Structure 1
C-alpha cells in the first residue's frame, strides 16, 4: 500500500538563517522581501509581537534600533540550497519526493504497516533536523488532501510531537476533520467555504460524507476530488489543484537523457514561460525564481548530480522576460558538464496577489509607462497563445550576464553555495 507524506519546514527562511547563526534561535526574526521592502517570513517570536506578513520594514525600524527584533534581507540562494538538502534527506527515507514549494515536499511511502510507518516518519522527522538543522512537521495519510490535514495537525497540536499518521475513516481522522475549519483543507478557498456553508457543509467531515456526484453537479470535478480524497480515495496529483498557491512549478522529464546545455536551456525557457502564464492566469506576482536539474538516480552506471538555485527578482513580477532572465542566470550557475540530465524545472516562489502591487513601491522602481507596456505585452502574448495554441508566441534566450542591482542591506552570507562565504570559526 502506498501512503503519501507531506513534510513542511517550520518557519523555513528564518530556520535557514538560524542554522548558521545559532544566536538567532529564540529571538524575534523576520526576513524581508525584495529590496528590503516588507516582511515575508516571521519566526514565532516575531508573530508574538503582533507583527504580520507584509508589514513594511520602515514601520519596524524603531524595534530594530532598540535591539528587540532582527530583520534580514531575503537570501534565496541559501534557501534554495537548504531546500535541496532537505529533499536529499527525504529521498533516502522514501520511495520518491515531489517538491510542492521551496519549504514543502510530498513523499511516497510504499509497503509500510501503519505501526512501522509511524516510527519511520518519526525517524525521518529527526533525521532532517539532524542532517540539515531545519525543523519540520510530517503528516502521512492515504491521500494528498489528508496528508495536508495530518501535517496541519502535527504542526498545531503539540501532542503529536511534529508527526501525525492518519488512516482513512478512522476515529482520529474524523475528529480532526471536525476540529479544523473547512478553509484549512487543501484546495478549499474562502469563496468555496461560503458556498458550501449555504448548503449546510461546514466541516471537512461534512464534505467527506457528501455524495461526490452531487458535489460535482453543484460545484466542479475539483471539489468532487477533494471530497473523495477526504474519504481516503487518491485522485489528486500534485499539479491538479487550481487554487492560487504560494508557488507555481512547471517541470517534466526530458524525452531522453541529455548533456546539451542548449537543449536544457530551451526546456527551462519553456517551463519558465508556462509558469509565467499560470502566474498571470491566477492574478499573482512572483518574488523569486528557482531552477533545478537532476540526473536519473536509477542509472547507477552514470555519474549522479542534482542541484537547484533560487534567484531573487528586482520586484514582484509576472513578466515572462524578467522571469526567463532570472531562470537563465540560475541555469548557468547550476549546469555542470559531464552529466546526462533526466529532468529540469522552474519554480516561481513567494507569490503575492497582483492587486497588492502597491508593495512594489518598496522594490526596484518601475515607471507607470514601463509597467503598462509590460502588462499590455504579456496580455497580448497570452491572448495569441489562447487563440492560436499554446507556444505560438515565445520569447528568445534572455540576454546573458544581466545584472540585478537589489538593495539587500541585511543580507547574510550564502554559507552553503559560495566558497568565499563559508562560515568562519575563530578560536579564542
Structure 2
C-alpha cells in the first residue's frame, strides 16, 4: 500500500501558524507581485473566489467579506514543508516528496500494522508539532492514493480522522464511479474533452473502454493509468533528480523603462543562479538571458528577445555569471520599451570536481572560489544578500507588498532556509 500525505490549503495553513486569529476566517495568499490567488481557505472558496483569480478583480469582494489577503511567504512555506516531510519520513522506509505540500509513503510489507491507526498517529503528530492540517489517502497505487485523498478532503465530516484507506475492490469501484474523469491524476483539459466526446465522464467509464482505444487516445501513459486505477501499481516512488537547468525570472509589478534598473535585475538573477549552482556543487557551461514587454499592452510596443552564450570555462562564480549576463543584456536590450519580465537560465551542468578548463582561456573561477564560499557562509549566518556584489540593490525580487514587519525581521534573522521548490511567478 501507498499513502499520500497532503497538506490542506497549505499556504493558508502556514499563514495560520503565524496568526491563530485567522482560523475560520476567509484567507487568500497571492502570487509573486501580488497578482493572483494561489491558495484559499475553505471559507474563501465558499465565497466563490477561484484559484488563479486576479487580485485586482476581486478587490471589492475581499473588502466586502473581510477576506484576509497576504503576499506569499515562500521562505516560510518551504521551511514548514521540510518540517512536515521530516516527520512523515520517519513513518516509512521509502518516500517521495512529490511537491511542496504532498508526500508519498511506501507501506509495502507493513503486514502487522493497523495502517488506519498508524496514519492517524502520523496526522496528529504533524498537527500537534507543526499546526498544519493534513489529509492522508491510502491505496494500492499512487493514482488511487490521489483519489482517496480527494475523498477525504471532499467529505471531511464523514472522514473526521482525516485518513481513508481504499483497500477493497468495492471501495475502489465506488470511488471511481464518483470521480469525474477530469479529476483523475494525469488527465488534462484537452484529454478530458476527448473523453467527454466519447462518453467517458467518470473514472469508472474509462475502465469500460477497450485498452486499444485508451492507448490510441493517451499512448502508453493511458495503459499505465488504467492499471493504476485497477489497483495494479505502475508508478514507483521516484528519487529527487538533480536539476538540469536553473531559471530565475520575475514578472515585474511595475514595468521597467530604465536600462540600468533592468540591468541590475538581470545581474541579480544571474547571481542567484550562481548561488543555486554552488548549493548543488555544480557549474554551468551555458547562460541564457531573456527580456519581455507586456504582451497585453500592445499600445506600448512589443519586444522580446533572448540569447545564450557558452562560457569559456564551466563556472558557478557570481562574478563570472553576472558579467556574462550583462554582456548578453547589452546585446539584446532595446531602448524605448516597457519591460514586464526578465530572467536568466543556466544549463549544461557539470560537477565541481569534474570541470575541465580550456587551455586557451584563463580560469578565473579558481580565484573566485574562496570569495564565493566566504560570501555563502556569511549569508547563511547573517541573512540572505547581507553580503552581495556591488551591482546588487539588495531589494527583494518577488514584489511582495503585504508582508508584516515581524516577518521581515524573521527573514533578516535567517531562521528559514531557502526554498527548494519552484513557486508561482
Q: TM-score range by the shorter chain?
A: 0.5 to 0.7
Contact kept, 8 Å, 2:252 with 2:399, in 1: the verdict is no
Match of 2:164 in 1: 164
Question: Which residues of 2 match residues 1-400 of structure 1 at below 5 A?
Answer: 3-62=1-60, 68-113=66-111, 116-158=114-156, 159-161=158-160, 162-167=162-167, 170-237=169-236, 251-252=240-241, 270-273=243-246, 313-314=250-251, 326-329=272-275, 368-369=302-303, 372-374=304-306, 394=348
In 1, Cα distance between equivalents of 2:174 and 2:268: 47
Could you say if the C-alpha distance between residues 64 and 330 of structure 1 is closer, same or farther in structure 2, counting changes exceeding 3 Å? Answer: farther
**C-alpha offsets along residues 187-246 of structure 1, whole Å, 9 cap, x if unaligned?**
11222223234444332223234443553245310011000111111112467xxxxxxx
Structure 1 unmatched ranges of 5 or more: 240-249, 253-266, 277-288, 290-311, 336-340, 345-356, 379-391, 423-428
Matching residue of 2:383: none
Q: Secondary structure at the match of 1:373?
A: strand
Q: TM-score under structure 2 normalisation?
A: 0.63
| Residue deviations 1:90-118 (CA, integer Å, cap 9, x gap) | 11112222111111111111322497112
Determine the C-alpha separation between the residues in 2 that align with 1:44 and 1:220. Answer: 37
Say which SS state the counterpart of residue 95 (structure 2) adopts. strand
Q: Distance in 2 between matches of 1:118 and 1:68?
A: 39
Q: Deviations over 1:46-102 (max 9, x none)?
A: 122222223333344445556812111111000011110110011111222211111
If the length of structure 1 is used for normalisation, what is the TM-score? Answer: 0.63
Q: Distance in 2 between matches of 1:235 and 1:323?
A: 39
Over aligned residue pairs, what C-alpha RMSD do you find?
A: 3.9
- Bigger Rg over Cα: 2
Q: Deviations over 1:22-68 (max 9, x none)?
A: 01111111111112222221111112222222333334444555681
- Residues 323, 119 of structure 1: CA spacing in aligned structure 2 closer, same or farther, 3 A cutoff? farther
Cα distance in 1 for residues equivalent to 2:236 and 2:270: 26
Once residues 117 and 106 of structure 1 are traced to their aligned partners in structure 2, the CA distance between those partners, rounded to angstroms, is 14
Mark the CA change 1:65 to 1:204 in structure 2 (over 3 Å): closer, same or farther: closer
**Residue 411 (1) aligns with residue 412 (2):** no
Q: 1:368 to 1:56 in 2, by over 3 A?
A: same
Which stretch has the larger CA shift, 183-192 or 134-143?
Answer: 183-192
SS at 1:233 equivalent: coil
Change (3 A) 1:233 1:68: same
